[in-house]
Chains A and B, each alone.
Chain A
Amino acid sequence: MKRLAVLLVGEYRTWPIASAAIFNFFNNRAEQVDYYFVTWDKSGEQLISDADITDYFQNKNLIAYKRVPVKNENHTYYKQTYLAKVANILKRTAEQTQGFVYDQVVETRPDMFLRPNELEWKLCPDFYHRISIVDECYPGEPWMLDLYYRSSSLTNDILSNRYYNRLSKFNDSMNYISGYNFENHHWYLARYVMDHNLISMCKSMTDVDYEFHTVIRPNFPTELLSLSNKELWQYGEDWRLKQNA
């Protein structure tokens, strides 16, 4: 693959911890790997500066980044999808001004821990994607599987419009009409993907781009990231058992 765009989209959170693993995951996947970073200007109580972002991109192709004032939306879904749209605009701007189209685009979060596998990436044609498997999570759990999308540039453009996944400007109106409670934004994302006939190329739970991936929550003991996959999974299971005890 010649050119890969990695869109890092979401709250800043544990980017300083996750960044090394993210670069290690992507850097050898294309002849040129371009990064885009879009986050809120505040993460918890921490104000995010330019340096909080750029300092971690030494010798990397950070094409564009943006700190967006925190948006007042009713649900995480709309916050995340708003940032995803901004990142997509930055990517499309680069494509138009330089006159090219990315071979593949990945959208994921800046607080994601990704461990590469040895498998060669099969390129996703237009309207296909390779999506992460989203697991159930417990409130307060120090990790969880989350957003990872690889697709063609065109498919990313379609995905980035999921902010509009509603009937009116008032976010909750769709739920009132459909009768569903808006509790699971992963479900909403899945519904958008299905509505627009985007097809997964993953044939099984293990047919994914990575050997291991998880969001690194602030309460995650980072020394565990050096453990094997099996040990990491075991840690998660033990954590849940402890919560249920």
Chain B
Amino acid sequence: MNIALIVDQSFSDYRETLPLEKFYQVFVSEHKNKSLALMQTGLMLDQSIFIDGHNIDYVLYATNPLIKWDEFLKLTTYQGSFYNTIWYTGDMEDMSQVSELTNCIHGNFYCAPKVFSFLSSSYKINLNVEPIENFKLKCSNGDDVDFIRHRYMIERSNIKGCHFP
């Protein structure tokens, strides 16, 4: 299984904390802003697959070293929803105070390249139109525009979100 690692500037010590040898490719964004980082790395990923011809099965978007490798490698058993699912990682105890999805999006997640490509375009979502105004009310942290855009993209385009495992 070819796994691409994607990191942004918020995880500056990823070289020391992640087993880089396990990854087929590594994409690093120069942005700290999450939406811009996804935009940039999503395009890098798609170029690698469709222009350069690399075969990438999975994407790990890493913001911290708390990655459950053993469980992650079992993902191949989830073939039934492989291409339309985003798997979040995180500490369940930490999630007791905030919405699970909020915590997950701000943590590590795994997904197929297709799903990552979806997320990489979420920066285009106009937050000032009516459906999203209403959607903001559902979000526990409605001031975080990155989070709102990502969550709206996932829910609106029917991507399944699963806590992992």
**Which residues of A are in contact with B by a Cβ distance under 8 Å?**
82, 85-86, 88-89, 92-93, 96, 101, 125-127, 152-154, 157-158, 161, 164-169, 195-198
Contacts and interface: CB of A to CB of B under 8 A. Distances in A.
Interface stretch (B58-66, B76-84, B101-109): B76-84
B40 interface: yes
B39 to A, nearest CB: 6
B43 A96 contact: yes
B46 A154 contact: no
Contact of B43 (A92, A125, A127, A158): A92
A164 B112 contact: yes
B138 interface: no
Interface residues of B, number: 27
Contacts of B96: none
17 contacts: A82-B50, A85-B46, A89-B47, A101-B124, A126-B124, A126-B126, A152-B124, A153-B121, A154-B121, A157-B117, A157-B120, A161-B118, A164-B112, A164-B114, A166-B83, A168-B82, A197-B157
B73 interface: no
Contacts of B80: 167
Contacts of A89: 43, 46-47, 50-51
Contacts of A88: 46
Contact of B83 (A85, A86, A101, A164): A164
B124 A197 contact: no
